Structure 1
Amino acid sequence: MAIQKQEFYEGAALHQLIRGAGDVRIRYCAPLFVLNERLQVHMKYSTVVRSPWAFTFNPDEQRLLLRRASELPLSIGLVCGADGIAVLSFEQYLGIARPHTAAIRVACFRKHREHFEITGPDGSVPGKVPPSDWQRLLDN
């Protein structure tokens, strides 16, 4: 079976997470990953080399995230090419991208050696998101 591009990006993100957290149990519950049976992670990726990176959430995906977030805490990992992973909680996501009947575009911006800025159709994540937040995702 051929390896899909998405699997390369998800694999790299999971590798960084494991290196940062150490012992992590990962279960795939399509299309999300369940970490240590206490946190779900939805990953999106962009192959663009430089900032800004754009991520689209279609209406079906938005409904799925709403439903799954009611079952177990949910975070969203945005894989920004080879530059790093920006992570936001589902609550932060809802603050910048309330559910719509059309596709939603979320964007990440990052200047060299700075943190990520994440924006959506309904605003921006307050402050900037350090790339190291991804490796510390399970510290909470």
Structure 2
Amino acid sequence: MTELINEESPVTIHHLEKTHDYAYTFQRITDGPKAVLFKYSTAAKTPWRFGFSPSEDAAIEALVLQYKETATFITLICGKDGVCCVPVADLRLVMGPGKWTGLSLSVARPPDSGYRLSGPGKTLLRNIIPKSAWPRALWTKKQTATNCEVENNEHAYPSP
């Protein structure tokens, strides 16, 4: 959260406790609200694994309906290593459409590199998420799935 406090303009934070215990909105004067669902892994080192519960699925669905996929983020806290923040629109490329209950997401960070995400069937988000992207990812204008590609088995699929 320290990075949010150090942003160039004030950030308003609202807890969305009716949606989920770990759901929040963040808003700067210059930007619309961004919905964030936090997930935490206690693993000490890479790779970090994240599963999804029915309540998280319901929260993601509610947040997307209210804030859109490109303004809704899953923020993965990878132990003491750092924070990996991903728009739901991009995460759907890895996790697939629909509900994610019972599915697993893996986040790996090789030494001196950014975060790599892989989902069910080892579908890999080809874009590397820089370790320093949090919280800038919330305010970046390029928050659409069109900026990402996925890799499944030996085939790479550019996004639509």
Q: Distance in 1 between matches of 2:48 and 2:135?
A: 20
RCO greater where, 1 or 2, for CA within 8 Å and sep 6 or more? 1
User: Does structure 2 retain, via aligned residues, the 8 Å contact 1:46–1:80?
Assistant: yes
What's the offset of the Cα at 1:79?
Answer: 0.4
Aligned partner of 2:82 in structure 1 is 84
Query: 38-47 or 16-25: which moved more?
Result: 16-25
Aligned partner of 1:34 in structure 2 is 25
Aligned partner of 1:7 in structure 2 is none
Q: Of the candidates 61, 71, 76, which is equivalent to residue 66 of structure 2?
A: 71
SS of structure 2 residue aligned to 1:79: strand
Q: Deviations over 1:61-82 (max 9, x none)?
A: 2132022211012011100011
Q: Partner amino acid for 2:132?
A: S
Aligned partner of 1:62 in structure 2 is 57
Q: Distance in 2 between matches of 1:97 and 1:109?
A: 16
Q: Partner amino acid for 1:130?
A: P
Q: Normalised by the size of structure 1, how large is the TM-score?
A: 0.81
Cα RMSD of the aligned pairs, angstroms, is: 1.8
Change in 2 beyond 3 A, CA 1:20/1:82: farther
What's the offset of the Cα at 1:102?
Answer: 4.2
Q: Partner amino acid for 1:46?
A: S
Q: Normalised by the size of structure 2, how large is the TM-score?
A: 0.71
Aligned partner of 1:15 in structure 2 is 2
Change in 2 beyond 3 A, CA 1:101/1:111: closer
Q: Partner amino acid for 1:91?
A: A
Q: Distance in 2 between matches of 1:103 and 1:86?
A: 21
Q: Deviations over 1:13-44 (max 9, x none)?
A: x2223324541110000221101161001110
Q: Any gaps of 5 or more consecutive residues in structure 2? A: 141-160
What's the offset of the Cα at 1:50?
Answer: 0.6
